[in-house]
Amino acid sequence: MPKKTFDVAEKAGAIFITQVKENQSSLLEQISHRSKIDKPYDKYDEDIEKAHGRIDERTYEVFYAKPMLKKWPEWHRIQSVIRVTRKRDVYCRRENKYKLSIEVSHYVCSRKLLAISLGGYIRRHWFIENKQHHIKDVSFREDYTRKEVNAANFSLCIDFALNILKFNNYRNIKGTLYAVSLNFIKYSLNLRGLVC
C-alpha cells in the first residue's frame, strides 16, 4: 500500500479504503494493538446472514487514526482505522454440527466516516474482488505464482487471455484452459482474435 496512493486520492477528492495486510507488518501490528486498547468512535453490527451452509455475523468498529499513528507522520492521510470482526458458523457434515471461526481484519480510510458507511464500502469491495478477480486467482492461479520481473506484463497477458475467452463465449474458463493445454492448435484456430 503505497503512501502516495493516499495523496492521489486526496487530490481527486476520493475516499480511499484499503485492507492492511501482513506485508505492512509494522503498521498492522500497531493498529491491531491499539484497536484492542482504544475505544471505537462508532460501531455497527450487521444483520446475521445465513447462506452457503454458514451463518455470518460481521461487526465494524471505527477508530480515530491520529492517536494510533502519531509515531508515523508519513501516514498522516489516514483518518480512521476500521476493525472488522467476522464470526462464522460453518456447518460440518461429518460431525453434524456448526463450528465457529473468528477472523479479524483491519482497514484504513482517508476519511472519518460512520461504521455503517464503511461496512457497506468494504462489502462492495469484496463483492468486486470475488466476482472480478476470482477467475484470475483460481483459474489462472495468479496469486500462487510469484512474479519478480514484469509482474504487470504477466497480469496484462492474463487479462488478454481472459478477454479472448469471454469474447468467444467460453463459460467454463477453468475447463477451457485445461482443454486448451491438451490441444492448443485446435483451440487457437477457433479463438477469434488469437493469432497463432
108-148 pLDDT per residue, tens = 999 999 999 988 888 876 655 555 566 776 677 666 666 66
Q: ∠ CA(114), CA(131), CA(118), 5° rounding?
A: 5
pTM of the complete model: 0.65
pLDDT in tens, 148-160: 677 777 778 777 7
Closest listed residue to residue 6, CA positions, set 179, 131, 15: 15
Burial of 165 (C-beta count, 10 Å sphere; 0-12/13-18/19+): buried
Residue 188 has pLDDT above 70, yes or no: no
Comparing 126 with 26, which gets the higher pLDDT?
Answer: 26
pLDDT of amino acid 189: 59
Contact 115, 41 (CB under 8 A): no
Q: What is the pLDDT of residue 196?
A: 40
Q: Please state which of the ranges 3-12, 74-83, 112-121, 144-153 shows the lowest mean pLDDT.
A: 144-153
pLDDT (mean) for 94-113:
87
For residue 46, the 8-state DSSP code is: P
What are the sequence ranges of the domains in the chain? 3-132, 139-196
Nearest CA to 118 out of 10, 18, 9 is that of: 18
Cα separation, 195 vs 96, in Å, equals 53
Given a contact cutoff of 8 angstroms between Cβ atoms, the answer to whether 63 and 40 are in contact is yes
